Amino acid sequence: MLLIAGLGNPGPQHQNNRHNVGFMAADAIHRRHSFSPWVRKFQGLLSEGTLASEKVLLLKPQTFMNLSGQSVGEAMRFYKLAPAQLIVFYDELDLSPGKIRVKTGGGSGGHNGIRSIDQHVERDYRRVRIGIGHPGAKTMVHNYVLGDFAKADGEWLDVLLDAIADATPLLAKGEDSSFMNRVTLALREKLQPTSEDDRPPPKVAKQQSHIRQARPHKPAVNVPESGPMAEMLKKLFGKE
């Protein structure tokens, strides 16, 4: 059994926040793989399903981000799960928008949701970091993560969430690198220019200068191998 937790803040006012991309990933997995309806349990919303023949619990903590560990820890203890059976999806400021990385263990990186989970669960669980980019200054981070994704972000965000949902069975099988590669490839295929209008113009062959064009071409002459005539022709036309 696996527990997959997507982190975010509850309430419609936070629904499209950058900080809620973990919730968005959980919702995408829920839709794609026909999980059971959400029910309130463990201070969160819980759903059950199957990925790659593995029973999976989806959890969206409703404790607000800073107390995510209360919900996740309660579910882990109830089902007697080890840290290796936990996967957490959350937003990452230090990754470019649309980038995704999977790692096992490590620090919280300043993420309050991860810091809370670390207080309730041993750290050797898998973390799926979803890049949202950085606003550029530390003083801007709070408003940035609690702000909604821009309309233009939908171009890559929708593709990313669909790719995550499609590739999550690889995570269930422990194939973390294949999961990252599959998501990255899906983004590249969907977002790179494909129409002729979007392709860079073809390179134009470099034309010869007017000086070079004016030079006469060497006549095709069969130069004898030896003898006086051969020496004269070689001096006149140059050696091959």
| DSSP H/E element including 125 | none
| Amino acid residing at 98 | G
Which one from 19, 30, 33, 111 is the annotated catalytic residue? 19
**Is the dihedral angle over the CA atoms 8, 98, 179, 111 positive or is it negative?**
negative
Helix, strand, coil percentages (3-state) for the chain, rounded to 5, are: 45, 20, 35
Across the beta sheet with 2-6, the strand order is 39-41, 44-51, 54-61, 2-6, 86-92, 126-131, 100-104
Check if the beta carbon of residue 56 is closer than 8 Å to that of residue 1: yes
Beta strands in the chain (DSSP E): 2-6, 39-41, 44-51, 54-61, 86-92, 100-104, 126-131
210 annotated active-site: no
Check if the beta carbon of residue 18 is closer than 8 Å to that of residue 153: no
| Tokens describing residue 236 | 């006149």
Q: What is the DSSP letter of 151?
A: G
Neighbour-count burial of 171, counting CB atoms closer than 10 A to its CB (0-12 exposed, 13-18 middle, 19+ buried): buried
Helix (H, G, I), strand (E, B) or coil at 32: helix
- Catalytic residue numbers? 19
